[in-house]
Each structure stands twice: as C-alpha cells, then as structure tokens.
Structure 1
Amino acid sequence: MISQLPTDDWYGCVGDNTLADAILERLMHNSHRLEMKGESMRKRLAPVDTK
C-alpha cells in the first residue's frame, strides 16, 4: 500500500481513533516503511514553460 498521508495524520482522516488504530495495526505489522523526502518528481520532471 502506498500513501502520501503520513501515518500520524490517519487518525484525523479516519475520524475514529479506534478504527484508525485497527487499520494501522494490520497494515504496519510485518511491513517495510520507506519515508521519502525531497521535492516531488512531478515537479522536477514537469516540462519547462518557455512562453
């Protein structure tokens, strides 16, 4: 699963802390977590406007 939303922000997004805990527990158990940093590749690879 891939998400742009940090796991700490899931609680506010889901709205129910118990439900968010249950979802995160199941998703994060035995998972690998990669936190990406830096500018978006969409911005970096966007065509340059020459107008």
Structure 2
Amino acid sequence: MGLALEEPSEDDLFITENGILVAIEPELEPFIADLTLDYINGGIALVGNESDC
C-alpha cells in the first residue's frame, strides 16, 4: 500500500480527515483504520503501514 498524489478514480471512496479530502481505492478500505497521514521532515508520510516491502 502506498500514497499517490493523482486524480481520483470514479469508484474511489472519499473521506475528509482534518479538513483534507482523501480518495481511497475501495478494496483498501478494510486496511486503513490504523493509518495516519503525517508531515515528517518536510514531506507527507503514510504512517502505520510498516512492512518488509
């Protein structure tokens, strides 16, 4: 799972978190509950998706 800054697809789910509109692919919805978008060292990071990949 990753983060992309691109145009959303028609079938994406849309949520607003802290005033930011986020588009999510529907098949990823079960996996996002523990994820956080954060601003770290001058960039946006997806936190909570730690893996060996």
Q: What TM-score do the two structures reach when normalised by structure 2?
A: 0.34
Pair member with larger Rg: 1
Higher strand share: 2
* Bigger RCO of structures 1 and 2 (CA < 8 A, at least 6 apart): 2
